[in-house]
Amino acid sequence: MSDAPLKDIRVLDIATFIAAPFCGTVLSDFGAEVIKIEQPGEGDSLRRFGTMTECGDTLVWLSEARNRQSVTLDLRTTEGADLFRRLVAVSDVVLENFRPGTLEKWGLGYDELARINPKLVMLRVSAYGQTGPMREKPGFARIAHAFSGLAYLSGEPGRTPVVPGSTSLADYMSGLYGAVGVLIALRHAEKTGEGQVVDIGLYESIFRILDEIAPAYAKFGYERERMGPDTVNVVPHSHYETRDGAWVALACSNDRMWERLTTAMGRPDLAQDERYARPKARADRRAEVNGIVATWVGSLPLTEVLAACERAEAPCSKLLSIADIFRDPQYAARGNLETVEDPRVGALVLPAALPRLSRTPAALRSTGPALGSDSRAVLGDLLGVDGETLDALAAKKVI
């Protein structure tokens, strides 16, 4: 990837699980050199999180630790910390997600590392961020979903709140925001020679995407409750079951879409009916409007519902299962599923990288590596550590 846009960026990933490491995945997809630094003997817990494969690592690891080199290094030892400092001196980015204060206890906090490399950018992802009264509390994505307000909104009215699709959503969103922050910070460092810290709390990445929930409460005191598949302010904008047991999503975000849907339903009169003609009127009659649409959808098989909506250009989709996705021609045409050969488990199908760039596309070069598979190459080639020293470090379990 000699023309990869991030090929000159070296990233040290000392984080675990998904949140901060996913930033590295995004950067590595576009050519950044990502060196995964793991605890000797055990490695990242992500290796054991998810569906286990015959190589001893999970599918989650093989997918999300892709395009990396694996180096084992015990940062808690004097020798390990010294080697890490030497790596920092020749790197651009450090990704970490320890509890705030942990790296400082090891003498590896940002201030210490910035004295070695003033241009260093450090992404710090933690449950609640580096400041505030809860900064030292532990947390995972599920906790972030609860604290951000997302879990409260997920599910049917009056029922147990449910998992919002994926228990790792906050991890992935924090990794994405982390990648944006790192790229901004690298741009600043390029212009000024000054690095900086990118500080993200897991809950913040989710809270940020909850549309108008904050201003609506601040201005009107409106506390949104669980609405099942429905959407606040917009009706019909929900999921409906077809006669043959499939489910479809219909989106009517404005009056034009409502008019198109009523045409698909063979009821264009509904678009002119003052009871349903405007968004607020439809929202005020939510149950009635949803009932009309549900009755129509429920009277037809999936293929006829989709065909009617397509003719009227009314936004509609079947709720796809993963089996549907693997058969879908749109996914195939866009290359959203990419098959790669892993030397340890054979062929794997992984989600393709995003975003799609026209001149410098991403590349999936390798899946998640075996623990420590690149330790000697990286420490030897990059730092000039000789074989005898590496043997001694291995014997002491520093690497």
The SS3 call for residue 369 is: coil
Q: Is the peptide bond before 229 cis (omega within 30 degrees of 0)?
A: no
Residue 253: other Cβ atoms inside 10 A: 13
- Per CATH, the number for 237-324 is 3.30.1540.10
| CB 66 within 8 Å of CB 25 | yes
Give the global pTM.
Answer: 0.94
Residue 394: other Cβ atoms inside 10 A: 15
Residue ranges per structural domain of the chain: 10-208+334-395, 237-324
- Amino acid in position 239: H
Query: Are β-strands 237-241 and 33-38 bridged in parallel, bridged antiparallel, or unpaired?
Result: unpaired
Architecture of domain 10-208+334-395: 3-Layer(aba) Sandwich (3.40)
The residue from 171, 199, 230, 342 that is catalytic is 171
| CB 10 within 8 Å of CB 71 | no
| CB 85 within 8 Å of CB 37 | no
Query: Are β-strands 247-251 and 237-241 bridged in parallel, bridged antiparallel, or unpaired?
Result: antiparallel
The pLDDT value recorded for residue 230 is 96
Both tokens of 236, joined, read 């019909």
For residue 352, give Cα distances in angstroms to 3, 63, 336, 340: 19, 10, 5, 10
The pLDDT value recorded for residue 276 is 96
For residue 311, give Cα distances in angstroms to 19, 246, 263, 304: 42, 20, 9, 11
The pLDDT value recorded for residue 285 is 96
For residue 391, give Cα distances in angstroms to 86, 171, 175, 287, 376: 19, 36, 35, 71, 9
The pLDDT value recorded for residue 168 is 95
Q: By CB neighbour count within 10 A (0-12 exposed, 13-18 middle, 19+ buried), where does 86 fall?
A: middle
For residue 90, give Cα distances in angstroms to 25, 27, 33: 20, 17, 12
For residue 224, give Cα distances in angstroms to 150, 214, 216, 232, 234: 11, 10, 9, 8, 14
Per-residue tens of pLDDT for the chain, all 399 residues: 568 999 999 999 999 999 999 999 999 999 999 999 999 999 999 999 999 999 999 999 999 999 999 999 999 999 999 999 999 999 999 999 999 999 999 999 999 999 999 999 999 999 999 999 999 999 999 999 999 999 999 999 999 999 998 889 999 999 999 999 999 999 999 999 999 999 999 999 999 999 999 999 999 999 999 999 999 999 999 999 999 999 999 999 999 999 999 999 999 999 999 999 999 999 999 999 999 999 999 999 999 999 999 999 999 999 999 999 999 999 999 999 999 999 999 999 999 999 999 999 999 999 999 999 999 999 999 999 999 999 999 999 999
The pLDDT value recorded for residue 1 is 56
The pLDDT value recorded for residue 294 is 98
Q: What is d(CA 211, CA 207) in angstroms, rounded to the nearest whole number?
A: 9
Classify residue 304 as left (phi > 0), alpha (psi -120 to 50) or beta.
alpha
* CA-derived radius of gyration, the chain: 25
> H or E segment at 313?
none
Is residue 3 part of the annotated active site? The answer reads no
The pLDDT value recorded for residue 3 is 83
| CB 8 within 8 Å of CB 161 | no
Both tokens of 345, joined, read 């488990």
Nearest to 127 by CA among 98, 104, 102: 98
Both tokens of 389, joined, read 């020293």
List of residues 6+ apart from 38 with CB closer than 8 A = 44, 70, 71, 72, 73, 371, 372
Classify residue 41 as left (phi > 0), alpha (psi -120 to 50) or beta.
left
